[in-house]
Amino acid sequence: MTTGIDIALDQLKNQLREIRMQLSDIRKHGHDTFIAEQRIHLIPAKIQLAEATKNTKDIQIANQFLQEAMQELEEAKSSNKNQDEFTLDHALAQFKADYNQKDMIEHALRLAQETHNLIEQGDRDAALGNYVTLRQLYKFMPEHEKRQIYAVTMEVYQKIIKGNSNKEA
């Protein structure tokens, strides 16, 4: 006999499938889907927990995670990749022209410290924005520079993820 909980679980699974297809499509069009992907990774475990417990609270939590993932997906969809790339490419070219290698590393480290401060203050949106900028800077750095800021970049990433999981718990 199919219960309301079973129907809700099937709907959650279908929504997750749809989100994954949309995510793939958005990524193929060149939009940054990193945050949406991180949110989606948590959902299957929440659905499995809801299946095991058959508790409506667990279903609500899984549904909340799905809603947040859909919201991140919409934000990724509405971002204008070409404009962001032009701005980033232009900014990096200008930065490299104005500063030497040591200054680029110092700038990345200052950006990481500012991001830590924003996380401490609870300003998630600004921290994520800084992290995306830091990640883009990292991509354009030569290997020997990347080695110098890799640990700092990963520490920022872990704090953002930890902040999200604390917020969701």
Are 137 and 111 in contact by the 8 Å Cβ rule? The answer is: yes
Per-domain residue ranges of the chain: 4-78, 81-164
* Span 158-164, average pLDDT: 76
Tell me what the pLDDT averaged over the chain comes to.
80
Are 22 and 39 in contact by the 8 Å Cβ rule? The answer is: no
pLDDT band of residue 100 (cuts 50, 70, 90) is: low
Q: Which long-range contacts (CB under 8 A, 24 or more apart) does 84-92 make?
A: 84/32, 88/133, 88/136, 92/136, 92/137, 92/140
Q: Check residues 18 and 144 and name the one with the higher pLDDT.
A: 18
> Which of 1-10, 69-78, 83-92 has the lowest average pLDDT?
83-92
